[in-house]
Amino acid sequence: MKLSEEQKIQIEEQLAEFPLFGYGYLPVSEVSFLERVRYICETECPRYGKSWSCPPAVGTVEECKARVNGYDEVFLFASVSEVDSMDNMQTMLATQKDHERITKQITDIFKTAGCETLTLSTESCIQCKQCTYPNAPCRHPECQFPCVESYGIMVVELAEKCGIPFIQEYGVITWFSVIILR
């Protein structure tokens, strides 16, 4: 279901309740899928092959592209967290958890408005202490959001198209999520 402008305004009123740094809509045709982003997952990320939310479990970049192209538009949003130290993993994880909670709540807003959603979010899923991949099905598929980059999508490029600045300052973490809608 394609959202009307009136529905978007109603959703915007609900979004005002969240500590969002910025958001915007784009048609899915604006999303690029890059094999080189997947290459970085494969060669540099320790989570590659360890989670249902990461490659290769999410499928090839071509399969991800075909999945996204079955939808109408993309809603991208960012939240910003300030931390004392970028070296403290616990603090970083806590801010990621906050963003993931917001991502689930905003996904539910779109679902309530009648949309089918495909949500992509930050890094590797952190719902369980130990992911079941590849031995058993995902325990919480309703809140397991694949990593944006796992689809070969460069989130900074999308943010630029939506006019959302990417803050690169010590002590500031910008988290992005993408909710794909139809």
Sites of contact with ligand SF4 (CB under 6 A): 51-53, 125, 127-128, 131-133, 138-140, 144
Of 52 and 175, CB closest to ligand SF4: 52
What is the three-class DSSP state of 37? Answer: helix
Measured CA to CA, the distance from residue 48 to residue 159 in angstroms comes to 24
Rounded-to-integer distance, Cα 144 and Cα 17, Å? 23
Q: Residue 85 Cβ, how far from ligand SF4 at the closest point, in Å?
A: 26
HSE-CB of 8 using CA atoms within 13 angstroms: 13
Nearest approach in angstroms of CB 150 to ligand SF4 is 11
Shortest distance (Å) from residue 151 CB to ligand SF4 = 15
Closer to ligand SF4 by CB, 37 or 125: give it: 125
Of residues 11 and 125, the one with the C-beta less far from ligand SF4? 125
For residues 54 and 153, which CB has a smaller minimum distance to ligand SF4 in the complex? 54
**In angstroms, how far apart are the furthest CA atoms of the chain?**
45
Cα angle 48, 51, 56 (rounded to 5 degrees) comes to: 55
CB of 94 to ligand SF4, least distance (A): 17
